[in-house]
Structure 1
Amino acid sequence: MIVHFYTRPGCHLCEDARIVLKLVQEDVPFEIKEYNIEEDDALHEKYMLMIPVVVFENEIIQYGQVDYPAILDALL
């Protein structure tokens, strides 16, 4: 399983979301592919007001405030 994580440097919500993703990884094995939206103009335009964004199987699971139960439920 691969979870796509869209973020940007200096984003405190992104740091919190990264911690949540790592905690969920302890219960459900998956790979995190992280993308810095500032390195891609299309991603920046798409997600600039939403980050952090967590995507699984081409669907946004959560964005902004990321919480453990929502991520876990989406992956189970």
Structure 2
Amino acid sequence: MLKVIYYTKENCSLCDDAKALLLMLQYDYNFEIEERDIYTNDEWLEEYQLLIPFVQIQDIGIDCEEMSIEALESALKKYSSRLS
């Protein structure tokens, strides 16, 4: 199954919106979400602090500036099987 890595932090409304989009897309695509709080890992904090919410789908990274249902679905279509 495809793993979608979702970088987030607490009290982040943009992060909440991105997670809602991912949860909505799970109705149509077969993937699991691995949620990573950037404050639990110094490397994640350094790399993603200004980019969150950040979603990694295989070799595709979608940051806060690019985050949309269209961007997420486009990446999922590339790597995930669509559910019937």
Is TM > 0.5 for Structure 1 vs Structure 2? yes
**d(CA) in 1 for partners of 2:38, 2:59:** 17
2:47 corresponds in structure 1 to 46
Shift of 1:54: 0.4
Query: Residues 60 and 75 of structure 2 are in contact (CA less than 8 Å); yes or no, is this contact kept in structure 1?
Result: no
Query: Greater CA radius of gyration, 1 or 2?
Result: 2
In structure 2, the gaps of 5 or more residues are 78-84
In structure 1, the gaps of 5 or more residues are none
Q: For residues 1-76 of structure 1, what are the structure 2 equivalents within 5 Å?
A: 1-60=2-61, 62-65=62-65, 66-76=67-77
Shift of 1:58: 3.6
Report % sequence identity: 35
SS of 1:32's partner is strand
SS of 2:22's partner is helix
Shift of 1:70: 1.0
SS of 2:28's partner is coil
- TM-score w.r.t. the length of structure 1 is 0.93
Q: Which runs of 4+ in 1 moved over 6 A?
A: none
Count of residues in Structure 1 that have an aligned counterpart in Structure 2: 75
Shift of 1:43: 0.4
- TM-score w.r.t. the length of structure 2 is 0.84
The CA RMSD measured in Å over matched residues stands at 1.0
